[in-house]
Structures are given as structure tokens and as C-alpha cells.
Structure 1
Amino acid sequence: MASKKRDLESYYLIVLFITAIAAIFYGIFWTNKTIDYEAVIQQNIPGVTSIEKMIGAQRAYQVDAEGKKYYAVCDSAVGYQSRIEAMTIVNQEGLVEKVIITQQGETPIFFERLYTGKLFDQFKNLSIKEPVYLGGASGYSGYLDERQTNNYIDRVTGSTVSSHAVAEAVNKGTAYIAAQFFHTRWSNPYDTYQFNRQDFTMTIIYIIALAAAFIKKLVRLRIWILLASFGIMGFFVKKFVAASNLFSLITLQMPGLTNLGWYVLIGGTLSFIVLLGKNIYCAWICPFGAAQEVINKVAGFKSLGISPQVTKKLKLAAPTILWAAVMLGTFLGDYGTLDYQPFSAFFLFKAVWVMWLMLPIFIFISLFISRFYCQFFCPVGFILNLLNRWRNNGVRVWKQMWNRIGYQRWNQWKNNKA
């Protein structure tokens, strides 16, 4: 009977996996919204009399309206979890008239801050004859730093990554218009490599975690390493591996190689699994996992015993919720539904109301069950552990095949020699 139940649970997971992958591919290839760019131009430029699409790979238009000439250009950049496409409208004097977002899939609660923070109003009347820099974003490419120019916008606090992506998309578009129609070329500051103090510190944490996973003596320092991860990754670096980050890999929504910090976070986490067969991120780096484990150890309460039967049922919660988020995202055409983890509430103090309700429950139960959220509800932990299991099973099968081939060749060699 037990084996039959295990089989049913396995079949259940297989069904979830197949239907989720089918939904993702359906959402990517068959439900992409077709944008009427000319209609967007007409809505944002009064008195349009003609719109001419420019020849070439760049999506750009020449527009006549009420005796004036305008240019509209679209380009994109990767934000926190999606590619953000912006249409920039430029007047005949070479000044930005308006920036309109045509496509994006960022977490709604964070992207909405760009509107409430009036980020887009700051682009008005900026010149396209020089780059648009980003103020208040130290360590990001295109950072204003101490440049003497009025051609900059200030990032919106709490949505720096999205602010940076919008500014980068606008800069890429205006660089094209400046070169084509205003005989001006400039070096794009958003093409420079960015590796700030946060990224450097995160790299150190990854190196320490890697060492701790192999050097047994460092296990005695586990509580201190977890505290370091909690403080540095959670409150200084403020970067976490989220389901939306992993989803961006499937949809190829990845930032350029200039964003080295992103590749340390995601590339480093996956490299541990691929090269070493260990999920080091969850065990040593994740700040929320560290918080739960430290809280449990400090509290010192007797652990609540959970029967193996209940544990097996609870283990289905993470894949089930993840599946529901994927399906809902496909239905709505917005995969911001994947961002339901408690990281933003716990470390950034911003989240939807449901997560504010769930966060204290997770923290309270972690007093009695170490890493309660990680064990039963975390989509990242489920995905990384699944990938790790597949990797190790694949390596084991490969070794068995290689040993069998080697044994057969050894026998052939002995027989031939005999």
C-alpha cells in the first residue's frame, strides 16, 4: 500500500511538471500580446498625420504631427525578472517628449513604484545628444557619479533594478535616433561592466559557503556563517534567488554580461549543482533559510515531531503552489504571480498583503520546526533540489554505463590477447 501511495505521489508530480512546462511554452510562444506600436504613437502624440516605419532591425518611426516632426523608438533591457520594453518619443529639437512602457513582466508591487515615484516624468526634455545617466544608483552601469550634466534621472528607491532597466532601454533607443538623425554618437555608459561592493561581498559569501561545504572544520562555524549570510545577503546585498529569476532562464530573459552580480547569484547557484552535485545555496547562503535556522537554534524549543506520512503530504505543497502560480501567470499573461516568496516582506519590507499575513506564521512555526518554509513551501528549494537530484542521478547512470563499457572492453582485450 505504501509503494502504491508513493507511485501516486510520483504520478502527481509528473502531471504537475508536464502541465506546467506545457503552460510555460504556451504562454511564451502562443499568447504573446501583439502590440500595435502605431496606435501607441497616435495615443501619445496629438494630431498625428503620418507614421513611417524606418527600415532596419531597430523598431523606430518617423512621425509628422501638426507640422512638427517626431521620432519614436523602442528598445528593451532586462529588469529584476523580465525584459522591459520602452518606447521613447523624441521631438525635432532632439529632446525626449515621453517614455512609454510597452511590455514588461516585473513584480507589480515594485514596478508600480516607478509610476508613483514619477520616474517617467523625469525623462521630459532630456537631450538625446548625450547619454541619460542614472542618479542614486551607485555601482550600476550608467551611474551619474559626479558628472556635470543635467541629463540624468534619479532612481526610484526600492525599485533600483527596474529603474536601471528603463533608463538603459531609453538610452539604447535614443543612441540610435541621435546617430541617425542628429549626427551625434556617444559611448553608451550602460555598456560598461558593473561590479559594485554588494556584488563583491556576495562573491565572498559564495566562496565561504563553498569552502564550508567541503571543509568539515568550518561546520562548527555554521551559525556564524548563517548569520553573515542573513545580514549581508538580506540587508546589504538585498539579492535572493527567486522563482521568477529561475523562470527568466527558461524564457531567456537574462541581463547582459555587464551585470556580473546577476551571474554570480544565479550562475554561481546553478554551478554548485551542475559541477558539484550540491545545493549549497539553500544550505549556506539563502538569507531567509538562515533566519529560520538561527531563530530555531536561539529559541531552543523542543522540535515538533511530524510523522513521515504528514511530511510526505506537506512536501507536495511547494510544487503544487508553484504549479498554481505558473498556471495563473499563463492565464493572466503576467508571470509576476511567481513572486510569492517572503523575501521582499522580510528584508525589503514590501509585499502583497497575503505575504504579510503568511510571514509571521512561517517565522512562528520555525521556532519549533527548523526551516519550516524551506522544507515545505519554498519553490526555489524545490526546484534546486529537483535539479540536484536529476544531476546526481544522471551522473550515476553515466558512471554505470561507462563502467559497463569499460568492463566489456577489458574482456575483449583479454580474449583477444588469449
Structure 2
Amino acid sequence: MNKEKQRDKKLIGITVLLLIFAVIYQHFANEKDTLSVLRQGEPAAARFENAGGNYPSYKLWDAQENFLGYGVIAGASGYGGKLSVLSVLNPAGQITKVSLTENSETPLYLNKVLATGFLQKILGRNPEQGFGDINAVSGATITSEAIIAAVQKGSVQIANEQLGMKIPNDDGVNPTWKDMAALALVLTAIICSARKIKKLRPWLLFLSVIFIGFILNNSLTFSNFVSLFSGNLPSFVERPIWYLMVPGILIITLFRGENFYCSWLCPFGAVQEGIYRSLNLFKFSPSQNIQSKVGKYRWWMLWVAAMTALIFNNAGIASYEPFSVCFDGSGNIAQWIIMSIILLMSIALFRFWCHSFCPVGLMLDFMARLQRKLKRKKIEIRENANCNHCDNASCPQKISGMSRQDKLYLVLVSIVNIIILIALLLNISSMS
């Protein structure tokens, strides 16, 4: 227990240092020369003048003092983080250029949007026309809508404050049926887990696969935690569901001292469990002691992913999980390989990803354990918990030596961890 306490203290200390590093680094990384940013949209700009407004907006002139139009930078919340978009409007109010100035979006989705020529569909429009008829890119809906939202915010500000138009702003929270359904699903899971209504657990997991997995493609990922702890938060108005799924679940886990998300709501965990229970074709049983020790090495991969995200100032690249590949068909080749191995091994191993690799489960278990230690409560060990609390020397899980299955398990884990590192490298290389 003393070793465990010391480890927890070290992890908390490292977390605090990472947060400090994130704040300092992002402060300097985000500093850019205003004129160079404006020239991304209007290369002829030689001089600018602040035009005021909620979003940074500027009047632009060329070297001969000819008035070029306006530039405005507005932000919106994408899937993995914020996007800042520069919109350039000519004196008549038509949009002539749209470019990204900064972003913390998941590279996979952003590149998919840019590859379709989505930004070009916005050009030539007037803010009065609106942007509702521009279809989002399939497989990157949230990213597409975030770019449109940023352009709309900025262009409407220019239209109203500089061009004398009167276009209403829609700044209120408008929860959709998906937001309300997600809230109902999470609340039901909380109640059922608290009251131990296990008969409903299979149905909740099934609904999570359909709704959180396929419809929303909004599984909890490690990049969500990186965004939260580094202060890179999306707008509540634009993405209320993010606040339910990330800080909401984290706070509830800390308050209750139980990781209910992994057991009752995780779509990918549900898929693995479904395969295991329906297609358990052969026996593969590495010792619990080996699985427990391997599971602890998830911290190393977690810190590698966290540091990668902080160094490159992009929370989206920290996501190496195969969730989007499974539910949306979107991911790099390494993530496809990871998913294939995990689902194949789910025939023989119960929740292979959850116990050996998942950073989300690791974080939530850590938060739950903190609460239990603070309140000194003992709770029933979950079915899929690791057996690493027994000090009985005669325990069969502590018999020295490794079986052939233990060795095969270690080889599989090592291979997947190497592929995870490759997935992170591919995320970095795909940054725009």
C-alpha cells in the first residue's frame, strides 16, 4: 500500500508539472505576428487597422493604400479541440478567402475536410446568404460544422459593425435531441450502476454502441482529457455534449469512487465484451498477476501521448485509441491494425484493450481510487478488476514462473504497444 501511495503522489506531481508546462508552452506557441496571419488570407495586405468587435477584426490596405477589405478571426469547437479561422471579406462583403490560423483539431478529421475542398465552397458568399446549405463532410461532420460556425461568427460581425447590415446572432444554447438522449443514457447508467441493476447493463451497453458509438462517434478519448487539463475547452454553446461526456463523467467518477463509464457505457468495451461472450471459441488464460503488471505500464504510454500533445500544442494527436476506426471507419493504418488485433483477441480475452492499453479506463480508475482513499471506503471489486491486492504467498496468481500463455500474452502486448507508438507518429506526420 505504501508503494501504491507513493506512486499516486508521483503521478499527481507529474500531472501538475505537465499542466504548468502546457500553460507556459501554449502561451508562447500561440503568439504570432498579426500582419503575417492576415497575409494568409490577403497576401497583398501591407497595413492593417483594428476594427474592434468581439472577435479580432481588421481593415486591410495594400502598399499603395488601396482599401482591400476586412479580415476577422473567429473560433469554434471541433471534434478534438478549437479551430481559429481567418475570413477575408472584400469591401462589398463577399468572402474571398478562408484559412485556418490555429487549430487543436484531430488531424484525421481536419485533413479529411481540407482534402474535399470544403473551404472553397464558402468563397463568394455574403453573410446575408447564410451557410446552412453547405453540406458537412461525411465522417468529419463536427469539424466541418466548426469551420462554418467560425466563418459565420466573423463574417456576421463584419457585416453588422462595418457594412451596416442587421443579421441576427444565434449565441444561445440550443440542445439537440442527440444531446438530450446522451444525457438520458448517462443518467440511466449512473442510476443502474449505483443501484446494481445488472439486468439492464447489457441493454445500456447495446445502446451505447448504437448511439455513442455509431450515431455520435463520441467515445471518451484520452485527447478529451488532454484538452480538459490543458484548458483547451470547447464552447459550451457549441458542444454541450462534450461537457457531459468529459468533465461530467470525470466529476461523477470522482464523487462516487467508481468507474461506471467503462463498465456501463463504453461502446468499444461493449463490442469486445459482446465478441467474448458470444464467440469464446478457445481458452486463453494468462495469469491475472501478469495482466495486472502489464496494465500498469499503460501509464508510460499515457505520458508519451500527453507529452506529444503538449509539445505539438494539439490535443487531437494524443488519441491513439481505435474507437473512430471501429465506429466511423476513420483512422490511420496503425489504428486499423490495433483494432483488428484487439477484436480478434476478444474471442479469447475479456476486454483485452481495456485491461492492457486503454488510457481512458486508466484515468477513470485512478480518479475513482483517489476518492476511495480520501473517504476510506471499501467498495466491491468489479468483475473486470485486476487481482493485485492479495498478499497471500500461496495465491495461485503469484506462483513464480510464466506459462506459455503468459509469454504469448506479453508478446501480443508488446506488439500492440509498438503499433500504438507508430499511430502517434502518424498522427504527428498528418498535422496540417
TM-score > 0.5, shorter chain as reference: yes
Scaled by the length of structure 2, the TM-score of the pair is 0.79
Instruction: Choose from 60, 64, 79 the match for 2:61.
Output: 64
State the partner residue of 2:155: 174
Q: Alpha-carbon deviations, 1:165-211, whole Å to 9, x = none?
A: 2122222212221222111232223x243333333332332233223
Specify whether residues 323 and 204 from structure 1 end up closer, same or farther in structure 2 by C-alpha distance, changes over 3 A only. Answer: same
Local SS of the residue matching 1:187? coil
Q: Which runs of 5+ in 2 are unaligned?
A: 378-432
Please state if 1:361 is matched with 2:360: no
Specify whether residues 215 and 19 from structure 1 end up closer, same or farther in structure 2 by C-alpha distance, changes over 3 A only. Answer: closer
Greater RCO, CA 8 A, separation 6+: 2
State the partner residue of 1:153: 134
Please state if 1:44 is matched with 2:23: no
Q: How much does 1:120 deviate?
A: 0.9
Instruction: Choose from 33, 56, 60 the match for 2:30.
Output: 33
Please state if 1:84 is matched with 2:83: yes
Local SS of the residue matching 1:223? helix
Bigger Rg, which one: 1
Q: How much does 1:375 deviate?
A: 1.2
Q: How much does 1:396 deviate?
A: 3.0
Q: How much does 1:154 deviate?
A: 2.2
Amino acid at match of 2:253: I
Specify whether residues 14 and 369 from structure 1 end up closer, same or farther in structure 2 by C-alpha distance, changes over 3 A only. Answer: farther
Q: Alpha-carbon deviations, 1:351-391, whole Å to 9, x = none?
A: 11111111111112222221111112111101111111112
Q: CA contact under 8 A between 1:71 and 1:177: conserved in structure 2?
A: yes
Scaled by the length of structure 1, the TM-score of the pair is 0.81
State the partner residue of 1:228: 207
Q: How much does 1:11 deviate?
A: 5.6
Local SS of the residue matching 1:27? helix
Amino acid at match of 1:110: Y
State the partner residue of 2:428: none
Local SS of the residue matching 1:387? helix
293-302 vs 344-353, which deviates more? 293-302
State the partner residue of 1:351: 331
Q: How does 1:4-403 map to 2 (within 5 A)?
A: 7=3, 15=10, 18-19=13-14, 21-30=16-25, 31-54=28-51, 58-65=55-62, 67-128=66-127, 130=128, 132-133=130-131, 144=132, 152-189=133-170, 191-216=171-196, 218-258=197-237, 259-301=239-281, 304-396=284-376
Specify whether residues 16 and 395 from structure 1 end up closer, same or farther in structure 2 by C-alpha distance, changes over 3 A only. Answer: closer
Amino acid at match of 1:114: V
Specify whether residues 105 and 99 from structure 1 end up closer, same or farther in structure 2 by C-alpha distance, changes over 3 A only. Answer: same
Distance in 1 separating the partners of 2:122 and 2:344: 46
Q: Which runs of 5+ in 1 are unaligned?
A: 134-143, 145-151, 398-418
Local SS of the residue matching 1:77? strand
Distance in 2 separating the partners of 1:287 and 1:101: 32
Specify whether residues 213 and 46 from structure 1 end up closer, same or farther in structure 2 by C-alpha distance, changes over 3 A only. Answer: closer
Specify whether residues 182 and 325 from structure 1 end up closer, same or farther in structure 2 by C-alpha distance, changes over 3 A only. Answer: same
Distance in 1 separating the partners of 2:61 and 2:320: 45
Amino acid at match of 1:245: N
Local SS of the residue matching 2:376? helix
324-333 vs 290-299, which deviates more? 324-333
Q: How much does 1:316 deviate?
A: 2.0
How many residues get paired? 372
Amino acid at match of 2:194: F
Specify whether residues 200 and 56 from structure 1 end up closer, same or farther in structure 2 by C-alpha distance, changes over 3 A only. Answer: closer
Q: CA contact under 8 A between 2:204 and 2:264: conserved in structure 1?
A: yes
Q: CA contact under 8 A between 1:75 and 1:172: conserved in structure 2?
A: yes
Q: CA contact under 8 A between 1:20 and 1:327: conserved in structure 2?
A: no
